[in-house]
Amino acid sequence: MNTKTLSRGAIAIAVAVALSAGYVAGTRHTDPQIIPSAQAAALMPAEAAAKTGIPDFSGLVETYGPAVVNISAKHVVKQVSQRQSMQQLPIDPSDPFYQFFRHFYGQFPGQGGGDDGGSQGDQPSASLGSGFIISPDGYILTNAHVVDGANVVTVKLTDKREYRAKVVGADKQSDVAVLKISAANLPTVKIGDPSQSKVGQWVVAIGSPYGFDNTVTSGIISAKSRSLPEENYTPFIQTDVPVNPGNSGGPLFNLQGEVIGINSMIYSQTGGFQGLSFAIPINEAMKVKDDLVKTGHVSRGRLGVAVQGLNQTLADSFGLGKPNGALVSSVDPGGPAAKAGLQAGDVILAVNGTQISDSTDLPSMIAGIKPGSKADLQVWRDKAKKDIAVTIGALTDAKAASNDTQAQEQGRLGVAVRPLTPQEKSGASLSHGLLVQQSSGPAASAGIQPGDVILAVNGRPVSSPDQLRDMIAKAGNSIALLIQRDSAQIFVPVDLG
């Protein structure tokens, strides 16, 4: 994320303190004890809030600020011309999804000469980020994207000491990296437990936004266990703490002065902070750290399924009272789930006795299981619970012809379909299915599109238009269609009215 300008504006802040009815962090203090500000500053924010009615973060910053470091990562990149750079831009940069969940760190490419604003050749660049010391002998946590591809990594402490850092390991899937500097008796942070934090509690970030070392910002926890696009294995902590390019890799503190997360991403349509920031829970990061220090890589479990969330309509179609669990939309052939007998349409309710309230819980839960070990799954199939034992696999980083057949209209559903040709089945690796040629009514309202392939109705495979018509005629007011769109399978709830 490139920084273009630095603007300065006046900010008016109005602070009103109603001591007689002050609610702080969800606790009412009818008669707070007034203590001198100097004494309050020595307290952790939670203590200061309890005694004064207002959190005071100065004690936290004084105690743990020295353990937060500035990280400079130097790269050698191929400089391209301005014309070539413009040709590489997305078609619609104004699309909100273009900026969605961008990793944030400042990057300052070297400027090349030439008539077109840039020249070919290797040019140095540097990215700035943050990190924090977790052991007195120099182990540091940061984001993997801060040091990705770096030739030289430099760590600067608050007392101006600088060290050349070694990248012990970096895990792109979790965006966690471990650095090591040769030093002793260093200040360290205190590691907390994110599971004990609550939405609405105060949190503090310390980092180097835009290179301004040891900058402190505060806010509240906005949500927990947030699932983000293309980030399947991390249940992010969402906050409204102001974070910007350069904050990436810095710590997120709770009121007790404990680190509960690593600031990693923001939602932004402009490249700057817009009220939505996301942190990696520190317990997840510490697991990654342990693997990186011991083996240099991270071992994760793999089940071999694609899952989606449930809403009430889908839950009703499967006979579930509540939309809890992870709905299996497809099973990888030959994968651990397939070998154990899992099927598309199963709803995974629990893993090793731990309930799954949302589909976003499953990926991180499975990833935390050691490959080769057994896991007991409780699934919902045919309106009944079923126990399935599966041997968890190892997760790795890698991962149409025309036909004259007349389409038949399925009036109640609102689709015109035809069977797949042998060539279409072979090309899509399908054994059955109906190609949607037209969509209207309930199907269109549910998002069914021409080109989709209907594979099953309420978990039952369908291979002919007549079979589909019979299923729809016997269905209740809602059904779940398993469709394949492009290379992905997904259940779509359809309200038949």
Which residues define the annotated binding site for substrate?
145, 175, 246-248
Distance between CA atoms of residues 280 and 311, nearest Å: 27
Contact between 240 and 276 (Cβ < 8 Å): yes
Q: Report the C-alpha gap between 271 and 6 in whole angstroms.
A: 12
Q: Give the active site residue among 175, 291, 316, 361.
A: 175
Tell me if 108 sits within 8 A of 125, measured CB to CB.
Answer: yes
Note whether 282 and 464 are within 8 A (CB). no
CB atoms within 10 A of CB 393: 21
What are the structure tokens assigned to 109, written together? 């490419």
Give the Cβ contact number of residue 466 at 10 Å. 11
Q: Is 175 a catalytic residue?
A: yes
List binding-site positions.
145, 175, 246-248
> Which burial class, exposed, middle or buried, applies to 420 when counting CB atoms under 10 A from its CB (0-12, 13-18, 19+)?
buried
Which position among 127, 174, 218, 248 bears the catalytic label? 248
Q: Which residues contact 79 (CB under 8 A, 6 or more apart)?
A: 109, 110, 112, 118, 119, 120, 121, 122, 123
What's the half-sphere exposure (Cβ side, CA atoms, 13 Å) at 301? Answer: 21
Strand partners, 131: 69
Q: Give me the catalytic one of 56, 72, 130, 145.
A: 145
135: left (phi over 0), alpha (psi -120 to 50) or beta: beta
439 is catalytic: no
Number of other residues whose CB lies within 10 A of the CB of residue 33: 9
Assigned token pair, 422 = 């042998």
Question: Which residue has tokens 């990296």?
Answer: 177
Contact (Cβ atoms closer than 8 angstroms) between residue 386 and residue 354: no
Active site residue 145: yes
- Give the span between the Cα atoms of 430 and 484, in whole angstroms: 10
Query: Catalytic amino acids?
Result: 145, 175, 248
